[in-house]
Chains A and B, each alone.
Chain A
Amino acid sequence: MSQSTDLSWHQNVEENGRQPPLSLQDVHVSYRTRKGSVQAVRGVTLDLQAGESLALIGESGSGKTTLGLGIVRLLVDTAEVSPGKIIYRRDGREVDVLSLADGPMREFRWRDCAMVFQSALNAFNPVLKVWDQVWDTAKAHRWNNREEVRERFLDLLRFVQLDPSRVIDAYAHELSGGMRQRTLLAISLLLDPQILILDEPTTALDILTQRTIIDLLRKLKEDLHFTMLFISHDLAIAAELADRVATMYAGQVVELGPVEDIFYRPRHPYSLGLIRAVPTVTGGFEELSSIPGSPPDLINLPTGCKFHPRCPYASERCSSEEPKLERVGDNHFAACWHTDAVQDDIERNGLRGKKRS
């Protein structure tokens, strides 16, 4: 299975160092529009460690999907990724994804970095049977042994708990939403990629179907130690599946840390606001509070900290000076001038709202 890929590799300097397979370095993405340039991603620096699952959370317009699509370079033509570097490493070698030519880029996608898209129905070709699409994919990556491909795909279908005979000769519309999502996951694993990017993998699925997908992804994470990047607006997905969480707001990572730190010891007001806005099912009743205002206009961004117009702790400094990610704990970073105030608030008022019996 592990045929060598044909990327224009650079020999990595630190060959023996345990380098992360993916490093984003100061990545910017903007979209050209008639009204001006939309600053969708502004200076994201992030390492994806081998075997970890990292969740990018944030609301619509926070830049999380743009960032995901940027990594596999599937953005629309009006998008520009610059400046910034997306360093990909495998077998002690590294390459800047943004510098790859079309051919190597096609190799990189799927074989090195596969993406599972949000809308499973749209990800399939409606006039091809599932198997034909799988075979197409394999051929495009010069894997021409039909028997071998079929064998591998059947294994994968069983792994995602689907009955291969039901799926392999079906058209996408003949499958239920959950089956489609699982089939898509199986196809994404076909070429044994090193990194899996999942964009809202459970959104629009029913609760019980969501659970089967979450359990499946957990199996990928815990048993196979897959390196995964989750993109989701749903905090629950992060809580269920992530080792680390990056909160995004207005195109930037505003907080980054181990999942327990983000959920129990958040230091950015936006992360805290999200936690206080989301109800849990089990347990008693908790008061919720929403974040006032609405997300910023990405063409005319506020000055200083982009969250300051909605922030309860905002001071004068926030409207003039933009905070950078600073260390607030072991592997825990937040971009806020008032992380102490956030900590105080949690100590005084509790993490979540008041309980009612």
Chain B
Amino acid sequence: MTPILQLRNVTRYFGSGRDRVTAVDSISLDIEPGEIVCLVGESGCGKSTTGRMIVGLLPPSDGQILYQGQDISAMDKPDYQQYRRAVQIIHQDPYASLNPTQTVRQMIMTPLLRHQSQRSAQNGSGGGRRSRRRDVERRAAELLEIVDLTPVAEFLDKYPHQLSGGQRQRVSVARALTVEPKFIVADEAVSMVDVSIRVSLLNMLSRLKEEFDVTFLFITHDLALAKYFAWEGRITVMYLGRIVEEGPTPRLITDSRHPYTQALLGAVPEADPELAKKKTHIELRSAEIPSLLNLPAGCTFHPRCPYIAEGECDTVVPPLERISEGGSVACPVRMSEPTQII
């Protein structure tokens, strides 16, 4: 099967000259239809930049992004429009991503009307304006039901400020669904929502995957959430613009190989006092993350890595290599050392 989305050596710079920052440094990633992939990393690792490039909000500086096998930068207009519809993003902040002057009804119906008029223009079928509007209203109600904003009538005429954070995020999801996407990038989509509500949002997103065959790229800094959401999928760990490890979620969580992944897993605070005491923490050689303006040579993690092999790690950029347990690791020194955090 053709992967729904492929990144080939995608790089993104910001600024120029001495101020040039490499946010994403030659990453490659294939995502199959129906897969769930989590992109995990700390702030500044390039995960959001990657997400924005995938949905076409930001062009790559170098490399290619392929949607259904086609390079998006070489698409003709209809293909490009179809790609932009098929690949949607849900932003982190539901307070900023919704127009405060529009009601839920307007936010959902505008794209539906536009989408429908485009489609009927293509098919040549007209249908009365009024009946079209009725169809759209019905569809809007359906979408709100899908995202559990029920009873629908109660929500249609609300403005964003009248909704809670969780409800707003549901509106964002419903809005993304108006164009029947095949691929959704969820960029920290639940991180601003209270814990008691997070799970129901995640479960709702999982349901979309099942019911609508949506492929997900879930971007988060929270490994526990990544584990929960992508247990049947894959996790990709980024550090300073590069992928350092990726693999099936159970393997990556229980038998991580890259020292950075291990450091992250060990560092995550656990909501369980016994577990918190038992966990081994990897002692890093430095607590400070290097500046993107002045990246270390070789493996960018080497100044902090406790397993550094001098002369190797500080000169050669380690390639991502496959391991037999599943996935790949960019650390020749530690890739064959099974490690458990507990």
Contacts and interface: CB of A to CB of B under 8 A. Distances in A.
B281 A281 contact: no
A202 B269 CA distance: 10
Contacts of B276: 236, 239-240
Interface in A153-201: 161, 176, 178-179
Given A236-B276, A274-B196, A290-B196, A208 B267 contact: yes
B12 to A, nearest CB: 21
B287 interface: yes
B289 interface: yes
B166 to A, nearest CB: 7
A258 to B, nearest CB: 10
B197 interface: yes
Given A161-B287, A211-B281, A289 B270 contact: no
Contact of A285 (B197, B228, B272): B228
B279 interface: yes
A174 to B, nearest CB: 12
A259 interface: yes
Nearest to B341: A282
Interface in B216-269: 221, 223-225, 227-228, 231, 250, 253, 263-269
A214 interface: yes
B287 A208 contact: yes
A260 interface: yes
B126 interface: no
Interface string A278-322: 111111110011111011000000000000000000000000000
B interface bracket (residues with beta carbon within 8 Å of A):
35 or more
B221 A290 contact: no
A159 to B, nearest CB: 14
Interface string B269-297: 11111011001010010011100000000
B180 interface: no
Contact of A239 (B197, B227, B266, B273): B273
Contact of A281 (B265, B284, B287): B265
A303 B335 CA distance: 59
Given A233-B195, A277-B195, A285-B228, A240 B265 contact: no
Given A60-B194, A280-B224, A285-B228, A235 B271 contact: yes
B287 A178 contact: yes
| Residue with the highest number of chain A CB atoms closer than 10 Å, among B194, B253, B284 | B194
A56 to B, nearest CB: 15
A336 interface: no
A132 interface: no
A274 B195 contact: yes
B271 A282 contact: no
Contacts of B308: none
A59 B194 contact: yes
A179 B196 CA distance: 31
A209 interface: yes
B43 interface: yes
A208 B269 CA distance: 10
A70 interface: no
Nearest to A278: B271
A263 B272 contact: yes
Nearest to B165: A60
A285 B228 CA distance: 7
Given A239-B272, A259-B273, A207 B194 contact: no
B333 interface: no
A285 to B, nearest CB: 5
Contact of A208 (B42, B198, B253, B272): B42
Contacts of B202: 288
A65 to B, nearest CB: 14
B97 interface: no
A274 to B, nearest CB: 6
B267 to A, nearest CB: 4
Q: Which of B268, B279, B342 has the most CB of A within 10 A?
A: B268
Interface of A: 59-60, 161, 176, 178-179, 202, 206-212, 214-215, 233-240, 259-260, 263-264, 273-275, 277-285, 288-292, 294-295, 356
Those 6 A-B pairs whose CB atoms lie nearest each other, nearest first:
A236-B269, A211-B267, A290-B199, A291-B196, A290-B200, A235-B271
21 contacts: A179-B288, A202-B269, A206-B289, A207-B268, A208-B42, A211-B266, A215-B281, A233-B194, A234-B195, A236-B271, A239-B269, A239-B270, A239-B275, A240-B269, A273-B196, A281-B253, A281-B265, A282-B253, A282-B342, A288-B199, A294-B164
Given A210-B267, A294-B197, 9 more contacts: A207-B221, A209-B287, A277-B196, A278-B224, A282-B342, A284-B250, A288-B202, A290-B197, A290-B203
